[in-house]
Chain A
């Protein structure tokens, strides 16, 4: 493959995405190395979720190329000529090498947690049920869900559902995990348990691309933070640099809001500390 470095598990080149008259992505280049954790931030409507959905072709870009671990998933030039020309079976096969976690969990409500996790390995990869069953239980165990394997999504809390969703994606042995605002739909007290599972996953060496507003998580675990603005990458660098010493004016404004919240909270936190003394 001519594009992408040897160590890159994911390479996007000049991705454009157009919905009717609106150009949502205007030329995104992004390479993610094996084991790297990349956090994507940006305001609403900036195109960050669209970009994530392009990586596994849930959104089909209007042009650009996508290579996952040396395999071309998508390659359409500016004139709309499809140079990859893959069959849908080939796309599904490459797509199954990425795992995705959604804001709204999107668990299958007619199946138990265990069946959710077993579904794709059995249906897509045709692995033996007994083997998948054991592995699915082990992964759910890692997510701290031993007691909930036979429950339906409706019987689980949001945090538990999201951890089942992570387990479901991991059961396919993905090369990259994609997270689309995985904690945004959660009650505040449930955010921690999902972030903890994601931190553990990152430390285990999983390659991750995470769209999130949890800047604390980004500072803690990201190797790189990317700021998307109006369909373009406006900043790309280590978290300390991007989040604590922002240079791009819109990034300053964006990160500033989080600093303001922290500043607002500080006196209350200190005040509370004073009264409890």
Chain B
């Protein structure tokens, strides 16, 4: 058994295209997920019970169904329910965004609730409104604590984009299986794909560690 990495170097073009697609879905779904997470997180923190409950249902729904099931369901079942056509790109984008949004919402809620209630007491006693308290006092402190878990979840998100290959979105993994289908060298191809993820994500992991330390210092 010998490795022959020429199958990788001969197909860098396809792998590069796949990598760009992976990167594209990572970035766009993280951005959309952050927007969803912020909205749902704040909804869960609102004093209005039915809204809190609604946020809770959303979070538990997406956190407790395997992502692969969500991706497949969004692509194959949702169009039937809604009676509309959804492209595989949109299905993948929606599934990944709503999935990661539920985790971001939990991170936001936990971050805000970890802030000492004395901070709310003090800002309320000074006459600050709910919005002023959130904007000026609570969220700036909570965001500092949220950076490490947000970074962690975003790293997981990049790896999760590989599930898009199951609905034939031509991401890095899809291109890999395509290349192995005509070169018959899955070993080299999948090893290379694993290495690509390591090369991108290890520096990001180190960065998030650094942010975590900086956050601990600022306390």
Query: A98–B122 Cα gap in the complex (Å)?
Result: 12
Chain B interface size, as a band, is 20 to 34
Query: A56-B125, A172-B126 are known contacts. Are A110 and B144 too (CB-CB below 8 A)?
Result: yes
Instruction: Tell me whether B114 is interfacial, beta carbon within 8 Å.
Output: no
Measured between C-beta atoms, what is the minimum distance from B68 to chain A in Å?
Answer: 41
Q: Does the CB pair A92–B122 fall under 8 Å?
A: no
Which of B118, B121, B122, B137 has the most chain A CB within a 10 Å cutoff? B122
- Considering the complex, give the chain B residue whose CB is closest to the CB of A56: B125
Instruction: Tell me whether B66 is interfacial, beta carbon within 8 Å.
Output: no
Q: Does the CB pair B125–A100 fall under 8 Å?
A: yes
**Chain A residues whose C-beta falls within 8 Å of the C-beta of B218 in the assembled complex:** 110
Instruction: Tell me whether A124 is interfacial, beta carbon within 8 Å.
Output: yes
Chain A interface size, as a band, is 20 to 34
Query: A98–B116 Cα gap in the complex (Å)?
Result: 22
Query: A108-B137, A110-B144 are known contacts. Are A58 and B125 too (CB-CB below 8 A)?
Result: yes
Query: A189–B3 Cα gap in the complex (Å)?
Result: 73
8 smallest A-B Cβ distances: which pairs? A96-B127, A106-B122, A106-B118, A120-B126, A100-B125, A124-B127, A92-B127, A95-B127
Interface residues in chain B, defined as those with a beta carbon under 8 Å from any beta carbon in chain A = 116, 118-119, 121-130, 132, 136-137, 140-141, 144, 218-219
Q: List 17 A-B contacts (CB under 8 A).
A: A56-B125, A58-B124, A92-B128, A100-B121, A106-B116, A107-B122, A108-B141, A110-B141, A110-B218, A119-B126, A119-B137, A124-B126, A124-B127, A168-B122, A168-B126, A169-B125, A172-B126
Interface residues in chain A, defined as those with a beta carbon under 8 Å from any beta carbon in chain B = 56, 58, 88-89, 92-93, 95-100, 102, 104, 106-110, 119-120, 123-124, 154, 165, 168-169, 172, 178
